[in-house]
Amino acid sequence: MGEAQNAVIDNRIRVEVVSRPPLPPFTRETAIQKVRLAEDAWNLRDPGRVALAYTIDSRWRNRSEFVNGRNEIVAFLTRKWNRELDYRLIKELWAFESNRIAVRFAYECHDDSVNWFRSYGNENWEFDEHGLMRLRFASINDLPIREADRKYHWPLGRRPDNHPGLSDLGL
């Protein structure tokens, strides 16, 4: 969870600023940690909790949808996880520099007719000085799969530490 700090603006207004470590500038180790924390949060499928990792005015492009601010993030994720059932996600660091991280990911889910999909994508993230994501650009492709072709079989929630990652799975 984040660390709260008090900031005084114009000696009159007190604002709580929340930090979400690790903070930029990222090292390889802290970038990997940031990616895993994002994966863990998304696998819990709690839109309100996930949205707290983003700035109040965060901007997203997710496929062809443009999302602005935490309220829209919560609405977007609520719709997403109401459609994408039994959602399980793996993210992997691709590259990083200063306050930016690029990841590749794949997730598996099914629709309400139990049609399974594996979705592959790339994300570019930019963080503010408090470790909150202010920009997220995601490009995603969906592949219908048979249930027998699923690779993610852990119980819903956080991926176990001993479960293979994307590269280990050949994805």
Distance between CA atoms of 37 and 91, rounded to whole angstroms? 10
CA geometry: angle 149, 154, 159, nearest 5 deg: 115
pLDDT band at 125 (very low <50, low <70, confident <90, very high): very high
Q: For 30-39, how does the pLDDT look when each residue is reduced to its tens digit (9 = 90+)?
A: 999 999 999 9
Q: Domains in the chain, please, with CATH?
A: 21-149 (3.10.450.50)
**Which ranges in 54-127 belong to alpha helices (H)?**
69-83
Tally DSSP H helices, then E strands, for the chain: 3, 8
Q: For 45-73, how does the pLDDT look when each residue is reduced to its tens digit (9 = 90+)?
A: 999 999 999 999 999 999 999 999 999 99
Q: How far is CA 99 from the centre of its chain?
A: 16
